Structure 1
Amino acid sequence: MKSILAAAALALATASSANAATLFQSIPDLTAVPVQASYCSSCNALLPFRIYDTFELAADSTINSVTFAIDTRFSPGGSTNVGFFNLNGALPGTAIADFTISAANYLLTDTQTDFIKLVTFDIGALALDAGSYDISFYNPNGLGIPAYADPGGKLYHQGNFFQPSQFYDGRSASFSLGGVSAVPEPAAWAMMIVGFGVTGGAIRVTRRRTLVALA
């Protein structure tokens, strides 16, 4: 019986581990060369812009990490805030959560451009339902977010008010969200089916041996 339980546990564990993946990625290659000059968060003290981009989750998910590209020529000091928002039409709605990372804790990865770097950090576990959301990037000392070609992207600024020129359709930040989806991937389903098939077969063999022994 212990071996049967172990087989079932292995099937579930394998399915779970196989399902840990990139939940969303804005562009196919996060290290690509930007197509446009970087947009700046709070480079003007009178207009403390926050930079937004939209993402979508196909299933209920738990986000564990965030990776995004920055323009190091802006050399942000202090801490950068990454926020998550519900959508209110085309604009960000209610704030869901925000996370702060200091420049000293940036884990920088090189890209195809000398001054563009990828920043990766863990956010613990943020559970979100399937649907569309906004992610925001903000640093009060200035933060450059490079823009990349993305036909479905919508990169924009939010200051004290919105203007049509602050929306950049067809542009996206370079970012990804890592974590676990509540819906198993096809490979995970296959693992589970095989695992439970093996478990069922083992149970039948055990019962048959028990009946023979009793007879």
Structure 2
Amino acid sequence: MIFPREVSVGDLEIVCPTVVLAEGKDDAELVQYLLKKHSTDLPDLDGKVQVINCDGVDNIHKLVITVATSDLFQSRPGTLGIVTDEDTLERALAQIAPVLDTHAGTRLPHPGEVHTVAGKRTGLFASPGRGQRGAVEGLYLAVASPERRRLASTYIDDVEQALEPVKHRQKAELQAVLAGLPLSPRSPGDALQTNKRLIHDAAGFSPLIEWLRLLAAS
């Protein structure tokens, strides 16, 4: 499940033993899609994961506290996975590490790893940052149909201007692709689900899938 951005931290209820905190909406929807797509490969996570869109790197540590202090997480062995961007990783770690130690008695592993401390499993995944090879935007574009990309190219400049101050052409192209057809999906997750090509066509997803497998391992 993906909680919308308007849900406040105080109102958020932790309802699953495994929680994945994703830095942004694109990351959250990608994780949710991969969990659904690979449910047969990840039976320990099927229907047992709460995916939360943190709506920005500066909110992750607040949600770490919410998860770590929840009745569900404190009363039984729990798993907390954190997905952030490589270009904001240092900032995220500076905020997350102290609260994770204080409220959960554990620490973060290296990116791409999952470990167990004091009975609690914790995992960290760093997605390539914007413009880098393997960035979420680029992976979505890799599975977009040629026709959708062709239509997007006709007005990408307008989209890019509308996204200022983002000033990131790949992000603009992604938005243009998603808006390129009359019945276009309204989110990257929907775009992937309606695409005919298999998710494996985007090889860059493989590290995240492997990390989710680690998260699911007992």
TM-score normalised to structure 2 length: 0.23
Larger Rg: 1
Greater share of residues in helix: 2
TM-score (norm 1): 0.23
